[in-house]
Structure 1
Amino acid sequence: MHQMDLPRPEIFDFHGVSMTHYFTDNWENVQNFKARPDDIVIATYPKAGTTWVAYILDLLYFRQTMPERESTIPIYDRIPFLEMVMPHYPLGTEMANTLSTSPRIIKTHLPVQFIPKSFWEQNCKIVYCARNAKDNVVSYFHFDRMEKLQPEPGDWTSFLQRFKEGKMVFGPWYDHVCGWWEKKQTYSKMHYMFFEDLVADTGREIKRLCSFLGLSTSDEEKEKIRGAVQFDVMKANPMTNLTEDGSLDFSVSQFLRKGKVGDWKNHFTVAQNEQFDEHYKQKMKSTSLQFRTVL
C-alpha cells in the first residue's frame, strides 16, 4: 500500500496532549531511548523551521568532512525524527540508534515533558526553534492539507479554532513554546532561537549557533552555509524539499511553501485577528516569552 492510500489518522488524548498513533506507537522505545553526551536535539513545534535548523546544523558539522551527503542523502535520513512511526519506513528510534555520524543530530516535536529522560541525564545540547503563533498556524494548515499522515484539516476557520483550543498533533502551541522556554531557565545546555530571527539575519543566527555549539567554523565556511540554506535554494534542493516523501501531496501545496514572516495577513480576517489577539493575551499572560509577527 502506498502511503498516499492510508486513511488519515484521528487525534486522541495521550497523557493530556493531542497525538496520533504515528507518534505514539513506539512510545516505550522513545521513552527508554539511550542518549549519548554528544547528541544534539533539535526540538520544535511542527512547522516552526525544523528542516531549516536541521539543515544548518548538518552543514555545520558535516559539510566539509562528508560533502557527498549533500547530494545523496535526504535530510530526513540524516536527521532522524525520534518519535516517528511511519509505514514502510524504519522507526525513528532505530534510525537514531544506527546513525553513523558523530555527533548524532536528532529531531523531535515532543513537548518538553515527553522528552526521553536520558537526554537530560546526559546533559545533551538542545536547540529549540520557535515561530510566532500566527505564521505557525498558517504553515501548519497548509502542511496538513498536503500531508496524508496528518488528521483531516477541514477549512481554515475550523482549523484556526482547533489551533486555539490546542487540539493539534503535539498539543497546544502555547504550552509547547512556553514549556520549553521555562525549561531553558533551569537547563543551561539549551539554545532557544526564533524563526523570525533566522529570516531577518540568517548569518547572525548561524554565528550564535556556532557559539552555543562550541564550533570554530571559519567565516568563509559560515558564509557558504548561509548561502546554501537560503529558502529558495533549499526549496530547489531535492535533499531538503522532501519531493521523495510519498505521504506528501505536492499538488495541494509545497513542503517548503513560503518561509516568510507575516504571511498570516493573507489568511486571517480582521475579526479572526482580533479574536486571536484576545485569546493569545490570555494564554501568554504568565510568560516572559515574546514574539514578532512582522519584520
Structure 2
Amino acid sequence: MKIKHYKSQFIQELTPIYDAGEAESFFYLILEQKQQLKRIDLALNPELCFSEAEITVWNSILEALKQEIPVQYVLGTTSFYGLDFEVNPAVLIPRPETEELVAWIIESQKGRAKTEKLKILDIGTGSGCIAIALAKNLTNAAVFAIDVSELALATAQKNAGNNAVNVTFLSKNILETDDLEQEFQIIVSNPPYVRHLEKVAIKKNVLDYEPHLALFVGDDDALVFYKKIAQLAQINLSKKGQLFFEINQYLGKETVDLLEKMNFKNIQLKQDIYGNDRMISAYF
C-alpha cells in the first residue's frame, strides 16, 4: 500500500478521537521513528509504499492510539530539552512546561564560574528528565535524584546512561524523610500537584494511562509535597541556595504564601508559555 493512502486511512480512523491536525502529527512522529522518514521525504517521494509487515506494525500502533494510549508510551520514547528519553507507564510523560523550568534553572546559573562546583537535587525524578537535562547542560554539577518508585528509578537510570550523564539516583519516600543529609545549591521538584477535583478536566489518555502516584494529591492537602520539600530545603539548601518548583496553575498564590510563611526570600512566580502560573523560585 502506498504510504500516502495509508496516511489518509490512519487519520480518518483517529479523527473521531483526536482532531485531524493531532492525528496527522502522530502519523509523522511514528513515520520518523519506525521508517526513518520525514514529512519532506514523503512529499518528495509520494509513491513510497509500506510492506505487508510494516502495515501489520502500523495497524497495531493505530489500535493502541484508538484506545487513547499516549503516543509516547506506544513508541516508548519522547523528546525533552533536545534529548531522547525512554518512557513507560511507570513515569509521567515529560511536558513542555517542565522544559521551561529546566531552562530557568540553567539561566539562573549563567553568572556562576564554570569551575565552581554545584550540587543539584531533583525530588520526584520520574523519567529523570529534569535531572538528566541539568546534568547534560551544567557540566560543573553533581546531580542527585530521588523517587519513591523503583520502576521509575530503573527508567531514569537507563535514560541517564542513554544520554551519557552521571546522576546519582536514590530510592526515598520524601514525605517520610526528615533530612537529606547533605547540602545542595539547587533543589528542584515537579511533585504530584493535581487535585482529585481537577480530574474532570483531564483527558482520558492521561487519566487512564499515566501514573496516578506521580499526578494526584488529596483535595484537602494539595500542597503537602511543597511544604515537606520546603522544610527539607530549610535544612539542606546551602547558603544562597535556590529552590525551584513546578506548580499547580490554580495554586500559585497559595504556594507563594506557603513559602513566605516559611521565611523564604526573593520568591518569584513565573508563567509558562500558555500564560499559566507554573514555576516558582525562592531562596532561604
TM-score, normalised relative to structure 2: 0.32
Q: Which protein has the bigger strand share? A: 2
Choose 1 or 2 for highest CA Rg: 2
Higher relative contact order (CA 8 A, sep 6+): 1
TM-score by length of 1: 0.31
